[in-house]
Amino acid sequence: MTQVRAVYLDYNATAPIRPEAAAAVARALEVGGNPSSVHAAGRTARNLVETARAQVAALVGAAPRAVTFVSGGAEANALAIESAVAAGYEEIIVGATEHDTIRASAAAAGVDVAEWPVSSDGVADLEWLDARLAAGRRTLVCLMLANNETGVIQPVAEAARRVREAGGWLHVDAIQGAGKLAIDFEGLGADTLSLSAHKIGGPQGVGALIAGPRARLTRRIHGGGQERGLRAGTENVSGIAGFGAAAEAATLDLPRLAIESAGRDSLEAIVLATGAEVLGRGAPRLPQTLCFAMPAFAAELQVIGLDLVGVMVSAGAACSSGKVKASHVVTAMGRPDLAACAIRVSGGWATTPDDWARCAQAWSQIQARHAARQKEFA
């Protein structure tokens, strides 16, 4: 009996590891040296770390010295926020659809936090930002490059100009945009920018914060001189090496991935024909991300139904200990009625047209069965 290949369309949660990254991790594990040691093994380990630093920097058009390796995107976001507060910024503006790691870190920072509203398509309101910045407070502004649930791309460069004119600090969570959009750190205008290896096909548990010349970072973990004194503790050499290899592969793969939206668009047409609503449809979006909601069809039922036939997707962000909960992103877009019904389908570097087609077929079948049950019990 032929076994049907499972379809993985949850790249925005974690991308499958790229072969180049897996090989780099294995090679680094064989080295075994501490990158702070001066002997041959230590120097080899140090070379792996610095090579990866250059590879990650190249992915976003930054200088290697701007890269600080951390444990992942959550720590990168926290380091940026805590550094800005330590530097005297007295208010944090957080986009209403930002990732929970930004929202929670801002809430815990001990300064005023303002929620920046978005349009019905999930795009940040720049006029609101102008009015808020006019108050003249030293402000940290957090605006993600692309939303993890809807794929909506934010007007970061336009926001950056306004923030800089007001003397503020702009932090950009680029975790979902990296490897899918061309990023020029200097041209984007961000002061800090966060990345995560496992979103681009690298290993889990490693990320980076990119910092420009206007940002003054503050050490979060004390006791050692690693990462230019910003983060004590022996570097995760194998993870960092895998991150670098994934970044290099993603850079080479970017021209193809940046235009590969045909599968997403075909699935979108099918779900729209059934009466589902696509979130962020009127805004620029990542080419491999689709968020849609079928009214009165709970997200967890859709996710479970698809999983039972070998198609893996998510409901909202995958950072809630496996729980399916109503999406704050969809609520912020003015659709609380759909917040518990929205699912996210996301592809990436190894996704095939057949994956999208099988997802479309499977979802159409479970939706038809759900509609039949509703009609039966109406």
**Alpha-carbon distance 228 to 223, whole Å?**
12
**Which residues, in sequence order, are CB contacts of 290 under 8 Å at separation 6+?**
151, 264, 267, 268, 271, 278, 344, 345, 346
Tell me, what amino acid is at 68? T
Find out whether 312 and 9 touch, Cβ atoms under 8 Å. Answer: yes
Outline where the chain has alpha helix (H): 19-31, 40-59, 73-86, 100-107, 126-133, 156-165, 185-188, 237-257, 262-273, 299-308, 328-332, 353-377
Token pair 């998510």 in the structure block, residue: 314
d(CA 53, CA 328): 34
Active site residue 142: no
List CB contacts of 102: < 8 A, sequence separation 6 or more.
77, 81, 94, 95, 142, 144, 171, 173
- What span, in angstroms and rounded, lies between the C-alpha atoms of 179 and 115? 28
For 154, 161, 283, the CA distances from 73, given in Å and listed in that order, are 18, 25, 25
- In the chain, the amino acid numbered 17 is I
**Which residues does the annotation mark as catalytic?**
319
